[in-house]
Amino acid sequence: MSKRDVYVLNGPNLGRLGRRQPEIYGSTTHVDLQDRLMPAWGKELGLRIHFSQTNHEGQLLDWLNDAADRGWPVVLNAGAWTHYSYALYDACAQLTAPLVEVHISAPSKRPEEFRHHSVVTPHAAKVIEGQGIDGYRQALEFIARS
């Protein structure tokens, strides 16, 4: 069985999972997510996962451009850029394969008003929020069915 390539991309501060506000984002570290959870989920779903995190917006845009060029689906947790980056909006607009927007917390229910708007959502085939780390698995399952 051939595997379908998928980008799982994480934006700013997500490399600090497990240390950054665990009461909001949980205790699973970014390394745990990458090394323990993603390979098992990918194998189970027939997906080859390309997992990356950056604190540099241009790097995230380069990965999204690559996904557009390759026709790869994307699971994207763009962190704070979700709420204001029009460069991110434009990069997501060019994707032709499914884009799933993931948020560990539920930004729409957080007290900060700025978190209630997403520039990614208009381009997303699905939005998953407030499911913790399991949201990534749900996103991969959606892509595997697409």
Is residue 25's pLDDT more than 80? no
Catalytic residue from among 25, 30, 123, 136: 25
- pLDDT score at 81: 96
The share of the chain scoring above pLDDT 90, in percent, equals: 68
| pLDDT greater than 70 at residue 1 | no
**Residue 42 and residue 38: Cα distance in Å, rounded?**
6
CB 87 within 8 A of CB 64: no
Mean pLDDT of 109-120: 80
* CATH among 3.40.50.9100, 2.60.120.10, 3.30.420.40, 3.40.630.30 for 4-145: 3.40.50.9100
Q: Return the pLDDT at 15.
A: 80
Catalytic residue among 30, 50, 103, 123: 103
What was the pLDDT predicted at 2? 58
Q: Among this protein's residues, is 136 annotated catalytic? A: no
Confidence of residue 112 (pLDDT cuts 50, 70, 90): confident
- The residue among 106 and 122 whose pLDDT is bigger is 122
- The CA distance from 61 to 81, in Å, is 11
